[in-house]
Amino acid sequence: MKNVIKKNTKPEYVATLYTYVSIIVAVKGVDLYIPQLSVALTIVDLSHNKFEGGIPYIIGDLKSLTVLNLSHNNLTGRIPHALGKISEIESLDVSWNQLIGEIPQNLADLTFLEFLNLSQNHLVGRIPQGKQFNTFKGNSFGGNPKLCGLPLPNKCGENLQKPQLEGNGDGEEEGNLLTWKEVVLGYGCGALLGIILGYLMLSTGRPKWFNAIVDEAEHMIMKRQNKRR
């Protein structure tokens, strides 16, 4: 798969002395029965194993690889940029692993990529936009809560703004927030008190104790104003 020499001669098949080799292999999410295994078929399917560690970047050297399935393993680390070099790839499935980091932008340049599944990993950040990525739907990226941007519903801006607010270390934001809360609280209490007093006044007429409070308040305000002058 590294050194491809494309021959336009008649197709060659993998065969024993008596019979052709046939296989059933999942390609682009569909189980495919291949009655005669062609030598030109370039599939790497290591799915449903217990492989650990990173995806080796040398996979990027397999220039004629068309199907890569690494799903259902315990692969960690980032998706190597080198995968963007597999120019012939049509189907890439790395779902159900422990992959982290962002999706390499250059995967969008894989013009033959028809099927992609990055679901159920720990990928983060903005999904590459444009080109081949415009053809993929949300089910290619599910189960990565920190991924954002189309075709997923969570917008990237919302995710980015939160840490900015928290990271504003000078405390001004917090101060303003507190004052704002106090104002609302004060206004609310005042309004409630006013309503209660108003109700009492209407229902009982202006009671003596209320007159006393008002007189006292007026007195205090006058005193303050005099002091200021």
- Cα torsion through 201, 206, 211, 212, rounded to 10: -80
The distance of closest approach from Cβ of residue 133 to ligand NAG in the complex, given in angstroms and rounded to an integer, is 13
Tokens of 91: 């189907």
146 binds ligand NAG (CB under 6 A): no
Angle at 156 between CA 150 and CA 160, to 5 degrees: 170
Which of 60, 69, 55, 82 lies closest to 25 in space, CA to CA? 69
Binding-residue total with ligand NAG (CB under 6 A): 18
Tokens of 186: 């004060």
Q: Give the gyration radius of the chain's Cα atoms.
A: 34
Residue appearing with tokens 């008002």: 214
69 binds ligand NAG (CB under 6 A): yes
The sign of the CA dihedral 99, 103, 106, 109 is positive
The distance of closest approach from Cβ of residue 77 to ligand NAG in the complex, given in angstroms and rounded to an integer, is 20
Among 42, 97, 140, 144, binds ligand NAG (CB under 6 A): 140
Tokens of 170: 């000078």
Among 42, 95, 97, 121, binds ligand NAG (CB under 6 A): 95
Question: Amino acid identity, residue 93?
Answer: D
Q: Compare residues 129 and 168 and give the one whose CB is closer to ligand NAG.
A: 129
Q: Contact 68/97 with Cβ under 8 angstroms?
A: no
Q: Which H or E run includes 180?
A: helix 172-204
The distance of closest approach from Cβ of residue 95 to ligand NAG in the complex, given in angstroms and rounded to an integer, is 4
122 binds ligand NAG (CB under 6 A): no
The distance of closest approach from Cβ of residue 39 to ligand NAG in the complex, given in angstroms and rounded to an integer, is 21
Site string for ligand NAG, 10-49 (x = CB under 6 A): ----------------xxxx-----------------xx-
Q: Compare residues 27 and 123 and give the one whose CB is closer to ligand NAG.
A: 27
Angle between helices 172-204 and 208-228 (to 10 degrees): 140
Which listed range, 36-44, 100-108, 117-125, 192-200, lies at the site for ligand NAG (CB under 6 A)? 117-125
Among 66, 71, 73, 97, binds ligand NAG (CB under 6 A): 71
Interface contacts to ligand NAG, rule CB under 6 A: 26-29, 47-48, 69, 71, 91, 93, 95, 115, 117, 119-120, 139-140, 142
